[in-house]
Structure 1
Amino acid sequence: MTSFELTKDIVKVLDNKKAEDIQVIKVNDLTIIADYFVIASTTSSTHVKALVDEVEFQLKEKGVEPRKLEGYQYANWIIMDYGDVIVHVFHEETRKFYTLERLWSDGETIDMKELLD
C-alpha cells in the first residue's frame, strides 16, 4: 500500500466517523519523517478516542498497524505513526492552540475531493 493509498483510507475512516475539519498536508518535500500529515479534530475527548480506535481497527483489518501511538491517555491530541503517514487527532481547543496547519504551511494541502472519491 502506498502512502497516498494509506492516507485515503485514513481520511475515509475519519470522515465516516464524523471527524471535523479533516486536512491532509503533503510534507515529503519538507521533512524525512513522513509523506503526509492527516489532521482532524472533534469537540470531545471521547470522540477523539473513538476516531483513533476506528482508524486503528480498520487499518488492522488490512494488516496495517501503527508503529507508535501517543497521547491516548489524555485524548487532547493523539498521534498515530504509520511510518509515511502521521495522523493527528485533536480535541478542538488543542488544535486551535497548536495550529499544525500553520507550522506546516509550506507543505502541499491535498484537496479532500481527491481523497474521498
Structure 2
Amino acid sequence: MHTEELLQFVISIAEEFKAVDLKTLHITEKCSFTDYFVIMTGTSTTHIQSIAEEITLRCKKAGHRPTDVEGMSKGEWTLIDFGDVVVHIFSAEKREFYNLEEIWKQIEAPDLDRELAVGQQVAER
C-alpha cells in the first residue's frame, strides 16, 4: 500500500468510526521522519481506544503493520506510527493542550539549497 493509499485508508476508518475534527497535515517538507500526520479527536476514552484499535487492526490485515503504537491503554492521546503516516487520536483536552496543528504550521520547511551551499563553503575551507 503506497503512502497516499494508506492515508486515505486511515481517514476512511476514522470517518467510519465518527472521529471528530479530522485533519491531515502534509509535512514532508518540514519533517524527516514522516510525510503525513492524521489528527483527530475522540469523544471519550472508549471512543479513542475503539478508533485506534480499528485503524491498527485493519491496517495490519491490509499488510501495513505500525512500527509503534503509544498510549492505547490510557485513551487520552494514542499515536500510531506507520512510518510515512503518523496517526494522532486525542481527547479534546489533550488536543487543545498539545496543539499539533499550530506547532507544525509555524515550523518552516528547511531551506535545503541554503544548507547545501553553507555545507559546501565549510567543506572548501
Contact 2:39 2:88 in 1 (8 A): yes
The structure whose RCO (Cα within 8 Å, separation 6+) is larger is: 1
Q: Give the whole-Å Cα distance in 1 for the aligned partners of 2:89 and 2:21.
A: 11
Q: Give the whole-Å Cα distance in 2 for the aligned partners of 1:3 and 1:63.
A: 13
After superposition, residues 1-117 of structure 1 pair within 5 angstroms as 1-106=1-106
Identity %: 34
SS at match of 1:48: helix
TM-score (norm 1): 0.87
Q: Give the whole-Å Cα distance in 2 for the aligned partners of 1:104 and 1:51.
A: 23
How far the C-alpha of 1:57 sits from its partner, in A, is 1.3
Q: Give the whole-Å Cα distance in 1 for the aligned partners of 2:53 and 2:64.
A: 13
How far the C-alpha of 1:106 sits from its partner, in A, is 5.0
How far the C-alpha of 1:42 sits from its partner, in A, is 1.5
Contact 2:34 2:84 in 1 (8 A): yes
How far the C-alpha of 1:6 sits from its partner, in A, is 0.6
Structure 2 residue runs without a partner (length 5+): 108-125
Structure with a larger share of its residues in helix: 2
How far the C-alpha of 1:5 sits from its partner, in A, is 1.1
Q: Give the whole-Å Cα distance in 2 for the aligned partners of 1:14 and 1:50.
A: 10
How far the C-alpha of 1:73 sits from its partner, in A, is 2.0
Contact 2:27 2:37 in 1 (8 A): yes
Residue in 2 that maps onto 1:111: none
Instruction: Give me the CA root mean square deviation.
Output: 1.1
Q: Write out the 4+ residue segments of structure 1 that deviate beyond 2 Å after TM superposition.
A: none
Q: Give the whole-Å Cα distance in 1 for the aligned partners of 2:6 and 2:78.
A: 18
TM-score (norm 2): 0.82
